[in-house]
Amino acid sequence: MSSESLTIESAIKEIRNELNIAYDERTLADDVQRGALDVTFFCDSCIFELDNPLNSIRLEQTFIKLHTIEYCKANLVIDIQFSNCFNIINEDTQAEILTVKKEDKTYLLAPRDAISNEEIFKISPLSVPLIEYRELIQPKVISKSQLRVTRPSLDKYLSANLSKPLEFKEGKIAEMNSDKALAIMAIMLSEASTQFKIGNRPNSARIADEIYTIATKLYPKDEDQMKGLQSFHKRISKALKSLESN
């Protein structure tokens, strides 16, 4: 792997040491999801440029530039708009990567043999709706061990936060207070209804499921926020353990 990138574990360790803060996989997953850190993986595939993907809510609503097919065998940054890295990092699970970034452009992963598909090359150079060529989508299944944090994004992250240590410290205090409030609310819910209780303790998974259900009704189009809530039970469980230890 390139020296321009680090493993997830190494990046977490460096952030902890340099900023002297408590930092874990959940926090790094949040930072990746909001674009503060870039992650890469080794790409061995064809890639097709997407036309103006930033204005699209869903992948199917964008256009594919079939005349910009190229074969790529290198480490490429994952484009988080259409690829979910949060669960891969935070839950240590496998998930599909659909899009990558190259020279600040978004590309779709496609089968290697697509580059030799004569039918594609007969198409006009104008962009074509992606939904007409769904067979060209070939996601890459990635696990956490295959991900790397880019050195440039990590250096930028460290530089930005080293210049404001007080804000980081205050942010950590705010997070501790919010965890306490979250734990107390979980206890209140479990005492108010047995459906939120397992034995004599709050049922973190059931509470998180209820939060997710309500959130999807309130924010049906906010997919990025919903991704973070998919593993919210871990945050609740952590908050309860923290409260018990005090």
pLDDT in tens, 61-98: 888 888 888 889 999 999 998 888 888 998 888 999 99
Distance (Å) of CA 141 to CA 35, 94, 99, 238 = 21, 6, 12, 29
Residues 5, 149 contacting (CB under 8 angstroms):
yes
Decide which of 119, 137, 162 is a domain's last residue. Answer: 162
Q: Mark which of 162, 193, 218 sits at the end of a domain.
A: 162
The band of 164, judged by pLDDT with boundaries at 50, 70 and 90, is low
Residues 75 and 171 reside in one and the same domain: no
Domain boundary among 162, 179, 205: 162
Give the total number of structural domains in the chain: 2
d(CA 123, CA 214): 45
Does residue 213 share a domain with residue 120?
no
Please give the Cα distance from 108 to 81 (Å, whole number): 11
Type and span of the H or E element at 64: strand 63-78
**What is the reported pTM?**
0.63
- Domain extent for 138: 5-162
Indicate whether 200 and 140 sit together in one domain.
no
Residue 152 DSSP class: H
Task: Tell whether 173 and 152 lie within a shared domain.
Answer: no
